[in-house]
A and B are shown apart, each in its own frame.
Chain A
Amino acid sequence: NAGVMQNPRHLVRRRGQEARLRCSPMKGHSHVYWYRQLPEEGLKFMVYLQKENIIDESGMPKERFSAEFPKEGPSILRIQQVVRGDSAAYFCASSLPPGQGHNEKLFFGSGTQLSVL
């Protein structure tokens, strides 16, 4: 069973371009989470999605950032008109559907390192 797959592993964009980060969850996982880690800082929650539904986007910047998890295919984190401050590692995690207590483990991918020139 392959783990959470993120691609690309490294992404370089110039200011003003768009960045699209992909995340394929583990088999059987219908819940996806995106986190951002700025250099020398901790992991910050961005968004939590279920297939075709955003459950919690309280950590998403109000502008330029969007996320989706379609019925078929990977989850996509999209950043429009990137700026240098968007340079960070972006991690995706997946989990099983919530069970009793909603305390399923999260399984993380290896991340996408976004560099904005």
Chain B
Amino acid sequence: DAKTTQPNSMESNEEEPVHLPCNHSTISGTDYIHWYRQLPSQGPEYVIHGLTSNVNNRMASLAIAEDRKSSTLILHRATLRDAAVYYCIHRREYGNKLVFGAGTILRVKS
């Protein structure tokens, strides 16, 4: 899995939207973009994934740039429970394992 670049940390106010960026300039055409998060003292948790089109689920939205070299995870209304490390990963088609980078530490202020 190729390397992604994320900010080390970000801060948000509770009840406000959060946009977490990720650069993946070396992504190939068949790599999927996955987001996982890790809450304190817990294992990682799947958030969302996509290939080319924007994706929405109950947790978040994923906006993928047209050239696929970057993506943004959107939490529509941050809560204190969203404070976690967020990992952006691009995963080869037919590659099951995930290779985690350093991720972005998201702090949510009340």
Residues of A near any B CB (own CB < 8 A): 4, 31, 33, 35, 42-45, 48, 55-56, 91, 93, 95, 98, 101-111
Cβ–Cβ < 8 Å partners of B44 in chain A: 43, 91, 93, 106, 108
Chain A residue with minimal CB distance to B92? A102
Does B10 count as interface, using CB distance less than 8 angstroms?
no
Complexed CA–CA distance, A48 and B95 (Å) = 11
Complexed CA–CA distance, A45 and B97 (Å) = 8
Chain A residue with minimal CB distance to B31? A103
Q: Interface stretch among B18-26, B65-73, B76-84, B99-107?
A: B99-107
User: A101 and B32 in contact (CB under 8 A), knowing A108-B43, A109-B43, A110-B42?
Assistant: yes
Are A48's CB and B96's CB within 8 A? yes
Complexed CA–CA distance, A69 and B41 (Å) = 25
List CB contacts (< 8 Å) of B46-70 with chain A.
Answer: 46, 49
> How far, in Å, is A94 (CB) from chain B's closest CB?
11
Are A102's CB and B94's CB within 8 A? yes
Complexed CA–CA distance, A111 and B36 (Å) = 16
User: A106 and B46 in contact (CB under 8 A), knowing A42-B100, A45-B99?
Assistant: yes
Contact residue among B43, B95, B100, B103 (Cβ-Cβ distance under 8 Å from A111): B43
Cβ–Cβ < 8 Å partners of B97 in chain A: 33, 45, 48, 56
User: A102 and B96 in contact (CB under 8 A), knowing A93-B43, A110-B42?
Assistant: yes
> How far, in Å, is B87 (CB) from chain A's closest CB?
8
Contact residue among A42, A45, A48, A108 (Cβ-Cβ distance under 8 Å from B45): A108
Cβ–Cβ < 8 Å partners of B93 in chain A: 101-103
Complexed CA–CA distance, A101 and B43 (Å) = 24
Chain B residue with minimal CB distance to A105? B46
Are B42's CB and A103's CB within 8 A? no
Complexed CA–CA distance, A45 and B95 (Å) = 13
Contact residue among B34, B95, B96, B102 (Cβ-Cβ distance under 8 Å from A42): B102
Q: Output the residue of A103, A109, A111 with the most chain B CB within 10 A.
A: A103
**Among all A-B residue pairs, the 7 with the closest Cβ atoms:** A108-B43, A43-B100, A102-B94, A105-B46, A91-B43, A108-B44, A103-B32
